[in-house]
Amino acid sequence: MTNNELIEQLYRDTTLPAAGLLQLLTSLAPEEEEHLYRRAREVREAHYGREVYLRGLVEFSSYCRNDCKYCGIRRSNGNAQRYRLTKDQIIECSDVGYRLGFRTFVLQSGEDLAFTTDDICEIVSEIRRRHPDCAVTLSIGEKTRAEYQAYYDAGAERYLLRQETSNPDHYAFLHPAELSIENRKRCLWDLKEIGYQVGCGIMVGSPRQTPENVIEDLNFMKELEPQMIGIGPFIHHKDTPFRDESDGTLEDTLHLLGILRLMFPNSLLPATTALGTINPRGRELGILAGANVVMPNLSPRGVRAKYLLYDGKICTGNEAAECRRCMERRIESVGYEVVVSRGDYRA
């Protein structure tokens, strides 16, 4: 089959045999890319119109007990600048964000054991109390089922946990021995069963990633049926074991975004900061390839440059209000509209 026929089949059926996916992942010509993105936009507009949802990202701690090989805040990076916001500072970020029109707050950190389960629950419930029309998303790593349940009971409704790769050997290559894809998947299934809107995702072009690995990721996602899928290009960090590895590409990331939109028509797909880092218009191009979410930074300006998961990260010097306006202009420049809304998943 030709690539255009495969795109049409994917558009119609939301699935393709592995050989077809492999072909699309490895051989799209520019005019075929356009066909893919046109179909992807059609599908996202059928489900979400031209709306783009804002998530205010609060990176509240750069401490992490883990040592993922690709990550700039891994515990063995002695050059990483560590910080930890207080509970009051985190809650204050949500107040600032609310005034700017954010209706979802994403609380993200390394796996920092200084925050107890009670601490996280207090923060979540206080934000929900102050802003009952907002959603709180957590992105704080692998926890026990009981901890996930406690956060949920405190008012967290969404959880982001990228698996980064679904293949056990590739996972073992990217991570330290104490982490396993089995536990990662266990976490994702627990979150799903508890009732969270769940986000998983991968790095595109991570070291030793093969197209077959990506197909395995897509198959896992089909099983999990996540509400959100976050993908971004791998970008190396100078103080990690992957300092000399090549970065993922804009093209591969956009292809995968288009494919994800056709496979998961009503998913929430962010155009990530990493995409904006490898190309100045990366996020706009992401929106045009089927993405419908952006995540401007709400962390206090003084700490932003310290949450460096990879080199060259953008948006570390601006105030939240500037980021908000900048994002709005960018989205409008490609014919879409930032809306003041929780931006929930539409089943």
73 binds ligand SF4 (CB under 6 A): yes
33 binds ligand SF4 (CB under 6 A): no
232 binds ligand SF4 (CB under 6 A): no
Nearest Cα to 126, choosing from 159, 101, 84, 93?
A: 93
Measured between its terminal Cα atoms, the distance across the chain in Å is 32
- The span from the CA of 59 to the CA of 209, in Å, is 27
- The span from the CA of 237 to the CA of 323, in Å, is 24
For residue 323, the Cα-to-chain-centroid distance in whole angstroms is: 18
Phi, psi (degrees; rounded to nearest 5) at 123:
-65, -45
Q: Which of residues 108-127 bind ligand SF4 (CB under 6 A)?
A: 110-111
68 binds ligand SF4 (CB under 6 A): yes
User: Residue 206 or residue 253: which is nearer to ligand SF4 going by CB?
Assistant: 206
Q: Is 294 helix (H, G, I), strand (E, B) or coil?
A: strand
Name the token pair of 308. 């460096």
Choose which of 97, 141, 226, 290 interacts with ligand SF4 (CB under 6 A). 141
Q: Is 306 helix (H, G, I), strand (E, B) or coil?
A: coil
User: Residue 11 or residue 148: which is nearer to ligand SF4 going by CB?
Assistant: 148
User: Residue 16 or residue 68: which is nearer to ligand SF4 going by CB?
Assistant: 68
Q: Which of residues 155-174 bind ligand SF4 (CB under 6 A)?
A: none
- Report, in Å, the least distance between residue 277 CB and ligand SF4: 16
For residue 76, the Cα-to-chain-centroid distance in whole angstroms is: 24
Span of 23-31, 60-68, 119-127, 204-212 interacting with ligand SF4 by CB under 6 A: 60-68
- Report, in Å, the least distance between residue 75 CB and ligand SF4: 7
User: Residue 16 or residue 73: which is nearer to ligand SF4 going by CB?
Assistant: 73
- Number of residues near ligand SF4 (by CB under 6 A): 10
- The span from the CA of 280 to the CA of 314, in Å, is 9
74 binds ligand SF4 (CB under 6 A): yes
Span of 70-78, 152-160, 255-263, 272-280 interacting with ligand SF4 by CB under 6 A: 70-78
- Report, in Å, the least distance between residue 343 CB and ligand SF4: 24
64 binds ligand SF4 (CB under 6 A): yes
- Report, in Å, the least distance between residue 330 CB and ligand SF4: 27
80 binds ligand SF4 (CB under 6 A): no
Residues 286, 273: contact at Cβ < 8 Å?
Answer: no
| Beta-bridge partners for 104 | 135
For residue 216, the surrounding DSSP H or E stretch is: helix 211-224
Residues 184, 220: contact at Cβ < 8 Å?
Answer: no
- Report, in Å, the least distance between residue 186 CB and ligand SF4: 16
User: Residue 76 or residue 333: which is nearer to ligand SF4 going by CB?
Assistant: 76
Q: Which of residues 92-111 bind ligand SF4 (CB under 6 A)?
A: 110-111
Q: Show Cβ contacts of residue 211 under 8 Å, excluding neighbours closer than 6 positions.
A: 22, 25, 26
Nearest Cα to 61, choosing from 43, 39, 87?
A: 87
Q: Is 64 helix (H, G, I), strand (E, B) or coil?
A: coil
Residues 134, 94: contact at Cβ < 8 Å?
Answer: yes
Choose which of 21, 24, 58, 71 interacts with ligand SF4 (CB under 6 A). 71
- Report, in Å, the least distance between residue 111 CB and ligand SF4: 5
Describe the chain by its helix, strand, coil percentages, rounded to 5.
45, 15, 40
- Report, in Å, the least distance between residue 313 CB and ligand SF4: 13
Choose which of 9, 15, 23, 66 interacts with ligand SF4 (CB under 6 A). 66
Please provide the size of the chain in residues. 347
Give me the residues that bind ligand SF4 (CB under 6 A), please.
64, 66-68, 71, 73-74, 110-111, 141
